[in-house]
């Protein structure tokens, strides 16, 4: 039949157009280029890790927990990072206690309550600008405000000063990440809640915040990790940059926070890295390894928290 | 519902039977008491004049349908009845909507209280990302409901014809339900706070014909206890379920804006068989829109 012939012809035509070229070279090229960029990133990271581990692992293996529980010392054989760990943990605690509630509160106000006016948009834009201000500038702020102006309360160059400086430093980032998390909550959810007679706060408390929480947590942890690694502002805000210093061994936590000199992990790493003796190179690497472990642990906790809230 | 043919002849008016069966249908004296009285309602979004001079009464324990082409402002008008437009910052409402004689836009009116009495079902099913039980219990809980919550949840799900399908998984996430079940859950959620009125904004547009039919049947049952306002794109649906119908249309105003207005409002049977305005007839017979 005639129609049958036509079908065969059409079929051949369609087959030819569908089969196309054997290999799409351009697609292959793009895929390879993208893979190379990923690999070069990984390669740099791997180099860093290998060099740090190879030079620092010996110290950790030899001294074990002694390295973590020993105090700073100019004698490389005795030097440990106890004060730095405690300092960093308390500083991080300050950031969580001060910047997290303030940041989330400010973001909720900006996103849910503030009318969409020119003033609001101006404030919003400036918070974004603040997030980009170099951290050394926050160090100057810490020096001027928390060390000098509020010295009576903070005790000058103490953990309170350092903690408040870091909290102020990360506050804009905390606000931005929280605001973004809130913006991602669908408007339909707010309408559903208001539709059954919930007030604005009930809607935020029972529906918007729970949905946004995993994203808020993720943002907060990244932010806190950043504060954990900051050194420049702490140098200005009074962290001790020295091979050793002494805290009163029997100081209570209040005295420790308000009266004593302090230091932090990145400061010690920076300081040891400047020392000419070969022993300190290994110590620096060992401190970096401990530091990375802490970061890994913080991120792990964040992932667990986020998963738990997401499942609810 | 008697008719099973979805493609029924609109001009054949099989629904005239439904409406005629209503003892209340007919002229003003026999008309049901009004629960809402809308007077010269105008809605603006910023400079944009969205709805112009809408006036109509809404009957108690009736189903009132709003139909019309896209952008004619029917959803906007519906969202005025529970002050949902308050959530849109640039929206501004003029005119009055009297609810039992009280102006909903009066200065001393609390929109939260309004929404407890006038519930809403949205176009896209929007259950809370929580359990089925919590979806229903949330409204009564925040309203300070003191009775037995389990019973209320069961009763609400019964009324929404969903109980048999979900009674064994009340603690499971509402998001696991199908679209039609989610929408019935949203209806159950809306009636759990014992409102007076249920507003429905194209409640079936995201559903398949079977789920749609179930919801339409449900509306007929709910009408005994509630007054229902429904916005729909589906003219057959309006013809099937509603007692009275308002036809909205959109026109260019003097500033070149596409402003919606109410063209005709009457008994559903009359709108679909013998409309007074030519535009209504053109729309329902599919000549435009």
Q: Which of A115, A192, A199 sits opposite B128 (nearest CB)?
A: A192
Provide, as residue numbers in chain B, all residues whose Cβ is less than 8 Å from the Cβ of A197. Answer: 112-113, 115-116, 139, 142-143, 193
Count other Cβ atoms within 10 Å, centred on residue A111. Answer: 20
Our CA-based measurement puts residue B84 at a distance from the nearest CA of chain A, in whole angstroms, of 7
Our CA-based measurement puts residue B142 at a distance from the nearest CA of chain A, in whole angstroms, of 7
Count other Cβ atoms within 10 Å, centred on residue B278. Answer: 10
Contact yes or no for A189 and B126 at CB 8 A: yes
Q: How many CA atoms lie within 13 A of A128 on its CB side?
A: 9
| Strands, sheet with B34-45, edge to edge from the N-terminal-most edge strand | B102-103, B91-99, B34-45, B48-59, B258-267, B244-252, B63-67, B227-231, B197-201, B118-121
- Polymer length of chain B: 289
Residue B102 in contact with partner chain A when CB distance is under 8 A: no
Q: CA-CA distances (angstroms) from residue B52 to A6, A113, B82, B252?
A: 61, 30, 19, 11
Contact yes or no for B112 and A191 at CB 8 A: no
Contact yes or no for A193 and B138 at CB 8 A: yes
Residues A251/A259, Cβ–Cβ less than 8 Å: yes
Render pLDDT for A59-73 as a digit per residue (tens, 0 to 9): 888 888 888 888 888
Contact yes or no for A195 and B142 at CB 8 A: no
Kindly state the tokens that stand for B276: 């007074």
Give the β-pairing of B244-252 and B63-67.
parallel
- Polymer length of chain A: 312
Kindly state the tokens that stand for B268: 């559903």
Q: Which of A116, A191, A199 sits opposite B126 (nearest CB)?
A: A191
Provide, as residue numbers in chain A, all residues whose Cβ is less than 8 Å from the Cβ of B142. Answer: 196-199, 202, 206
Residue B107 in contact with partner chain A when CB distance is under 8 A: no
User: What phi, psi does A293 have (nearest 5°)?
Assistant: -60, -45
Query: Under CATH, to which class is A63-311 assigned?
Result: mainly alpha
pTM: 0.81
- For chain A, the residues whose C-beta falls within 8 A of a C-beta of chain B are 115-116, 186-199, 202, 206-207, 211
Give the β-pairing of B118-121 and B258-267.
unpaired
* Residue from B122, B120, B117, B141 nearest B130 by CA: B141
Residues B80/B93, Cβ–Cβ less than 8 Å: yes
Of A19 and A209, the one with more pLDDT: A209
Query: Under CATH, to which class is B33-284 assigned?
Result: alpha beta
- pLDDT attached to residue B126: 94
Transcribe B151-183 into DSSP letters.
HHHHHHHHHTT-HHHHTT-TTSBGGGS-HHHHH
pLDDT in tens, chain B (289 residues): 344 444 444 444 444 334 333 443 344 555 678 899 999 999 999 989 999 999 999 999 999 999 998 888 899 999 999 999 988 889 999 999 999 999 999 999 999 999 999 999 999 999 999 999 999 999 999 999 999 999 999 999 988 889 999 999 999 999 999 988 999 999 999 999 989 999 999 998 888 888 888 889 989 988 998 999 999 988 889 999 999 999 999 888 788 888 999 999 999 999 998 899 988 888 888 876 4
Contact yes or no for A199 and B112 at CB 8 A: yes
Q: Which of B87, B89, B192 sits opposite A191 (nearest CB)?
A: B87
Question: Domain residues of chain A, as ranges?
Answer: 18-61, 63-311
Residue A6 pLDDT > 70, yes or no? no
Contact yes or no for B112 and A197 at CB 8 A: yes
Least CA distance to B131: which residue of chain A?
Answer: A312
Our CA-based measurement puts residue B23 at a distance from the nearest CA of chain A, in whole angstroms, of 32
Contact yes or no for B84 and A191 at CB 8 A: yes
Contact yes or no for B193 and A190 at CB 8 A: no
Q: Which residue of A117, A120, A185, A192 is the best one to mutate when testing the B interface, meaning the one whose CB has the most B CBs within 10 A?
A: A192
Residue B115 in contact with partner chain A when CB distance is under 8 A: yes
- pLDDT attached to residue B34: 86
Q: State whether residue B11 is helix, strand or coil.
A: helix
Provide, as residue numbers in chain A, all residues whose Cβ is less than 8 Å from the Cβ of B83. Answer: none
ipTM rounded to 2 decimals: 0.82
- pLDDT attached to residue B1: 39
Q: State whether residue B218 is helix, strand or coil.
A: helix
Contact yes or no for A196 and B139 at CB 8 A: yes
Provide, as residue numbers in chain A, all residues whose Cβ is less than 8 Å from the Cβ of B174. Answer: none
Q: Which of B89, B126, B186 sits opposite A116 (nearest CB)?
A: B89
B residues 172..201 contacting A (CB < 8 A): 186, 189-190, 192-193
Residue A311 pLDDT > 70, yes or no? no
The position carrying tokens 């980032």 is A173
Kindly state the tokens that stand for B192: 């759990």
* Residue from A1, A5, A216 nearest A96 by CA: A216
Provide, as residue numbers in chain B, all residues whose Cβ is less than 8 Å from the Cβ of A192. Answer: 122, 126-128, 186, 189
What does the alpha-carbon distance between residue A105 and residue A99 come to, in Å, rounded to a whole number?
10
Provide, as residue numbers in chain A, all residues whose Cβ is less than 8 Å from the Cβ of B119. Answer: 195-196
The arithmetic mean of pLDDT across residues A179-187, rounded, is: 95
Residue A166 pLDDT > 80, yes or no? yes
Kindly state the tokens that stand for A274: 């400047």
* Residue from A239, A235, A231 nearest A260 by CA: A239
* Residue from B246, B260, B266, B198 nearest B49 by CA: B260
Residues B68/B250, Cβ–Cβ less than 8 Å: yes
Contact yes or no for A197 and B192 at CB 8 A: no
Contact yes or no for A197 and B116 at CB 8 A: yes
Transcribe B85-130 into DSSP letters.
GGGSTTEEEEEEEEETTEETTSTT--HHHHHHHEEEE-SS----SS
Provide, as residue numbers in chain A, all residues whose Cβ is less than 8 Å from the Cβ of B193. Answer: 196-197
Q: CA-CA distances (angstroms) from residue B160 to B164, B202, B241?
A: 10, 17, 16
Count other Cβ atoms within 10 Å, centred on residue A129. Answer: 9
What does the alpha-carbon distance between residue A72 and residue A70 come to, in Å, rounded to a whole number?
7
User: What phi, psi does B96 have (nearest 5°)?
Assistant: -130, 145
Provide, as residue numbers in chain A, all residues whose Cβ is less than 8 Å from the Cβ of B113. Answer: 197
Q: CA-CA distances (angstroms) from residue A306 to A208, A210, A219, A301?
A: 16, 11, 11, 9
SS (H, E, C) chain A: CHHHHHHHHHHHHHHHHHHCCCCCHHHHHHHHHHHHHHHHHHHHHHHHHHHHHHHHHHHHHHHCHHHHHCCCCCCCCCCCCHHHHHHHHHHHHHHHHHHHHHHHHHHHHHHHHCCCCHHHHHHHHHHHHHHCCCHHHHHHHHHHHHHHHCHHHHCCCCHHHHHHHHHHHHHHHHHHHHHHHHHCCCHHHHHHHHHCCCCHHHHHHHHHHHHHHHHHHHHHHHHHHHHHHCCHHHHHCCCCCCCCCCCCCCCCHHHHHHCCCCCCHHHHHHHHHHCCCHHHHHHHHHHHHHHHHHHHHHHHHHHHHHHHHHHC
């Amino acid at each position: 039949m005639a129609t049958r012939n036509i079908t065969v012809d059409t079929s051949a035509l369609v087959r030819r157009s569908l089969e196309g070229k054997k290999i799409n070279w351009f697609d292959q090229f793009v895929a390879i280029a993208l893979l190379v960029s990923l690999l070069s990133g990984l390669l740099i990271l791997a180099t860093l890790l290998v060099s740090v581990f190879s030079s620092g692992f010996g110290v950790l293996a030899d001294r074990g927990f002694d390295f973590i529980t020993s105090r700073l010392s100019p004698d490389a054989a005795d030097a440990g990072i106890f004060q730095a760990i405690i300092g960093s943990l308390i500083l991080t605690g300050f950031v969580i206690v001060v910047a997290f509630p303030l940041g989330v509160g400010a973001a909720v106000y900006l996103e849910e309550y503030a009318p969409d006016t020119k003033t609001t948009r101006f404030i919003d834009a400036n918070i974004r600008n603040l997030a980009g201000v170099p951290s050394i500038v926050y160090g100057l702020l810490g020096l001027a405000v928390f060390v000098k102006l509020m010295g009576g309360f903070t005790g000058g160059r103490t953990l309170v000063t350092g903690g408040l400086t870091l909290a102020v430093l990360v506050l804009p980032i905390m606000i931005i990440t929280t605001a973004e998390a809130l913006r991602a909550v669908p408007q339909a959810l707010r309408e559903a809640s208001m539709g059954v007679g919930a007030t604005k706060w009930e809607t935020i408390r029972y529906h918007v915040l729970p949905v946004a929480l995993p994203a808020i947590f993720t943002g907060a942890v990244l932010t806190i990790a950043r504060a954990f690694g900051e050194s420049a502002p702490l140098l200005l805000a009074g962290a001790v940059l020295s091979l050793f210093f002494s805290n009163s061994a029997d100081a209570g936590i209040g005295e420790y926070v308000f009266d004593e000199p302090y230091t932090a992990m990145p400061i010690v790493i920076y300081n040891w890295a400047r020392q000419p003796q070969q022993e300190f190179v290994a110590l620096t690497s060992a401190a970096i390894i401990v530091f990375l472990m802490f970061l890994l642990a913080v991120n792990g906790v964040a992932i667990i928290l986020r998963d738990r809230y997401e499942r609810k | 519902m008697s008719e099973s043919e979805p493609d029924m002849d609109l001009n054949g008016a099989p629904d005239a039977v439904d409406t005629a069966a209503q003892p209340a249908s007919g002229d003003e004296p026999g008309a049901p008491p009004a629960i809402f009285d809308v007077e010269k309602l105008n809605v603006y979004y910023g400079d944009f004049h969205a709805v112009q001079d809408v006036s109509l009464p809404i009957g108690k324990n009736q189903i009132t349908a709003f139909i019309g082409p896209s952008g004619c402002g029917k959803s906007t008008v519906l969202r005025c009845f529970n002050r949902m437009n308050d959530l849109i910052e640039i929206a501004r409402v003029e005119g009055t909507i009297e609810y039992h004689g009280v102006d909903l836009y009066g200065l001393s009116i609390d929109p939260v209280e309004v929404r407890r009495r006038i519930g809403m079902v949205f176009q896209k099913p929007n259950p809370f990302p929580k359990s089925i039980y919590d979806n229903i219990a949330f409204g009564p809980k925040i309203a300070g409901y003191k009775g037995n919550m389990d019973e209320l949840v069961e009763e609400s799900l019964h009324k929404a014809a969903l109980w048999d399908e979900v009674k064994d998984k009340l603690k499971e996430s509402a998001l696991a339900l199908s679209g039609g079940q989610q929408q019935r859950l949203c209806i159950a959620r809306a009636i759990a706070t014992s409102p007076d009125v249920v507003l429905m904004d194209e409640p079936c547009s995201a559903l398949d014909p079977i789920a749609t039919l179930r919801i339409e049947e449900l509306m007929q049952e709910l009408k005994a206890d509630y007054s229902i306002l429904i916005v729909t794109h589906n003219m057959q649906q309006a013809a099937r379920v509603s007692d009275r119908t308002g036809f909205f249309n959109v026109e260019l105003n003097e500033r070149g804006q596409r402003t919606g207005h109410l063209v005709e409002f009457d008994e559903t049977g009359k709108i679909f068989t013998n409309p007074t305005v030519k535009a209504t007839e053109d729309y329902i017979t599919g000549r435009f829109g």
